[in-house]
Structure 1
Amino acid sequence: MTDTLFDITERVAIVTGGLGQIGVEFSLELLRRGAKVSVFSRNIRKEIVESRFPQEYRDTDRVRFFAVDITIKETIEKALDKIIAAWDVPQILINNAGIDTQPSAPPEVSGPFEQFPEEVFREVVNVNLVGTFLCSQVVGAKMAEVGRGSIINIGSIYGMLSPVQDIYAYKQEKTGIPFIKPVAYSASKSGVYNLTRYMATYWAKKGVRVNVLTPSGVFRDTQDDEFQKNYCARIPIGRMAQPDEYNGAMIFLASDASKYMTGSNLVIDGGWTAW
């Protein structure tokens, strides 16, 4: 018996931020399962594409790369027109693109809330929330016209809960310069949850499902040892996620396995939000 529950063969997908750490994993997993994948990224550099996508996929017509600024609606529309002409209206949209402030950031963008720059706040919200809105508006409208589709918005534990500032206190102890996990990322990701619920109820009867996948932190070689220690102590599982450990949840949301699920938040966080 063939199991069709998680089958996404020949489905057309868009992954925004598809050259990033998690975005690459989403794109490759979709390709492994027979989907056709459009990778959106602000910059499409040949060396990055070649280093992250094996030749076996680049030699096929099942993956295409588009230079798209998700904060500019016209760039999304132009890319979508090309995708539809080549393949079809997408069945899957993963709104993964986003920006955050890392502990290595300079003090002018990682200091106290009272001094957090307005222009940085606007930039983060513009990418993380407005960009998700614009991609969903453009692609979701086409999905609704044909009566099917799954939109997966990538949230964050820091959109559900406030950052634990104690994790970052070591920065001041080591350097004398405080690092305050900024407000902009949390505010922007928090907005994604109600945007998701709005779109889910708006398009529910037109066959378009909209859900959130909420991850916790992902391991990077560039992270400080002290940050790793502090962060992992806060996770019941005791470690950060590997970049590919969200693929299963993504396939579930993209496939018919979740066909009665919309407006929901699937939390994959190693237990972070359990206490």
Structure 2
Amino acid sequence: MNTICFTGFGKKDKNELIEIAKARGYVVRSDVTKDLNYLCCGENAGPSKINKASQQGSEVLSAEQFLNQSTLSNVQNVEREEAKAPTLTIHDEHPLLDLIWSSIDTKKNLSIIYHGGERSGSARDILPLTLLDNFTLRAADLSSPTHPVKTFSLEKIEILGVERLSVLPGELNKSKKKQYSVGLYKNIEEVHLAFAETLQGMGWHVATYQDDAGLCNRLDVCDFFKNGKPRKTPVVSLSFQPENQTRPFVCRCRDTESTPTYAHLDNAAEMFISLAYAGSSEALEGEE
């Protein structure tokens, strides 16, 4: 297993690189250790770490080299693993999968015991929103006061009287690597197609906009006037700004001052759905 250390980056960029490395199977070190394979350096990297890494044979990379190397490596891994026929998908028949799909379709809450996270083993009420190919469930956690949208691993979900899901580690690794290397969503139109019905079910008017080339570059959710007509000003908006070459995906919320940007559409889409649910009529009704 490859080891890597990041140095010379700002906190935000470093944390993002660390998450990418972990998602792709690297062990992240906080310093230059004897078993270090790679030292990834930013603009403010100190010469002592670089010299130490070079002297002991660790490869010194820029962030761009690391990302390109990781993408190539993981695409190759995905291609090799795709040759293996999966034994289970989220669309196969299974009591737990059937119950979750039914809950998504009918927008009904589920009572679960979740064997993961900070409250491992505790009972929770959730509202399932969407089921992803890597065997994770995006759902609103109704047991928390603000009803945040969270990610739940299916193999950690227990529902009384329902057979638990047992997923082979190889299948999980395959799905996660594929999701991260190529992205769960290739563009904003795919986010729209994946969540349009869910957003409308939350009580939103959903609108999309296209650029000059006819490509969808913005997804909005809007509330309504008393006469039933949708407002033009969005409550939450997800957009693509190609002029920002490093963090082109932008998630705006009418009720917050910050405008976070993202390097990966998956992360931006996750925030977009979370904000949309937090401001929806469903969430507000649950607080009463």
Looking at secondary structure, tell me which structure has more strand per residue: 2
The two structures have a TM-score, normalised by structure 2, of 0.22
Q: Which has the larger radius of gyration?
A: 2
Looking at secondary structure, tell me which structure has more helix per residue: 1
**Structure number with higher relative contact order (C-alpha < 8 Å, ≥ 6 residues apart):** 1
The two structures have a TM-score, normalised by structure 1, of 0.23
